[in-house]
Chains A and B, each alone.
Chain A
Amino acid sequence: MNLATLAAGILTGGLYALIGLGISIVFGVLGMMNLAHGEFVIGGAYLASLLVIGAGWDPLAVLPLAMIAVALIAYPLQRYLLTPLLRASKTAPLVATFGLLLLAEALFQAAFGSHPKSLPAPYAAAGISVFGIRVQAVYLIAFALTVVLCAATHLLLTRSRAGTAVRAAAADPETAAILGINVGRVYAMTLAGAAALAAAGGVMTGVAQSFTPTSGLPLLLTGFAVMALAGIGTVGGVLLAGVTLGVLQSVAVALFGGGWSDVVVYLAFFLVLAIRPQGLFRRGATA
């Protein structure tokens, strides 16, 4: 194990944080486990592939478009399907998002086939030196993007009127509604925002690795692992948790071999969930 392993872990962790951030926000605000989050990630990658592979665009140029497209799909899903279910019962949205997962997987399969795809970019396989440590350029870009998006999300939630509405709706939907906040719209905007973050993670994942219609589920679990580690309600905690997971994984691979990377992630996830359901980086229980 050396510094390069550590650096690779930190940078991969950025990508995990980006995927976990959306899950964490949705659970924090809506109290809903979104099993379809991984499909938003892969959906972003597939939609981007239309322009990247089809028209030769640069993935980073397509990224905002993919974010908007996936957000536009997510908004009506929350507004007209999931929010009414959320009011009826607590487990119904979980099952419905599982239905969405199945549906999305099948649609990706039908539209794009089951062959692994990736998004070609000049920086996909290139390495660059940072402080004498060689890292993959795409992960460095993804990490920078994650930091920017995390900061933007944090500012949006804490410094804007819309963010205040979101936090009000999260704290007490009934009171927020009485005060004139359209909770249904806030919920839909929240899922749309989370989906946009997921799509950004998806495009970067697509550049760094290949993906198939069934890649969503492992990504979803990684996202849940990040959320479990971070606890609900802190954007900074999510970033820290993603990086922790990335480092843990790359250390495990360096020590035990490639097959163990998933084992470590899921075991860490499960242990944290079992021992500290409120997350590692958070004081006080919310569970």
Chain B
Amino acid sequence: MLQAGRNGGNAAPLRLGALFLGAAILALPWFATGYLVHFATLLFMFMVLAQSWNLIGGLAGYPSFGNVVFFGIGAYTTGLLMARGGVSFAPSLLAGALLGTAFAAGVGLPVLRLHGHYFAVATYATAEAMREIVNNLTGLTGGGMGLNLPLMAGSERAVGVYFYYLMLGVLVAALAVNAGILRTRLGYGLLAIREDEDAALVSGIDATRYKVIAFGLSAFLAALAGGIYAYWITYIDPGNAFDVSISVTMLVMVLLGGSGTLWGPPVGALVLMGLTEFLWSRFLEVHAALLGAVIILVVLFLPDGLLAMIGQGRRGLSPASLLQNLRRYSV
């Protein structure tokens, strides 16, 4: 009943295509270069992040501009436990994810009482404040000099493949969580909150509880991604673990693909990362500026996201419809 993007339906060729794609993804490490495996892993990570943002921003309608704080908490918790505490990966990762979730629940209670702009800036400020704090606590975290994690045993190739599958696994879990929610009470409740919170309240929805749950789940996934990132890249610092552009990238990916849908975030992530990669290799210098321009274009011309546009078929892709999008929100 709820929009789940353009899923396969019952058309046999589509099913076959999906199966082939799935097989290709699973088999990728065997026939791809190390670079491609790395890129794919990064792509999966951003898909996870986009999916996590979708829970609070797309479904509940609370535009968080600071979700990177959970990523960073996951990264640093995992990093510190492994580097300073000698703890092995799995428990460190779990600890990072749980700490991120706890943080979301704690900060969420006051912050989720805010709406719109206030919420956006409060989350942004939280992430930035955390970055500054981590940066200043040099004794504990290594501050601006960063933290080095122990290297995983094994060849570079083998390690790369390990993280590929790990990140893929988390992605599948993130998709499952999203898909699961969309069919349950929680999903309907969040959508109602997004549409009209007061009307949702008088319809019997415990908005506070649901918002915190969405926020917590979002944090869990983001922190998980962060913890894996830390061990994968083996070096984190406040700049890369709490980078504000990661927050916005997640958001733009969801916007690009289609907010509130199941497949929107991964599609958006794929397109944006593909674009970034293309720009980077061709236009090293202007890359970041072009990314800014791309963001502007996306938000102006594709307010509903790519999936919606594709869903309208040829009509959706025409210049006329793009222009119409441009005018939609004008004064």
Q: Tell me, yes or no, whether A binds B.
A: no
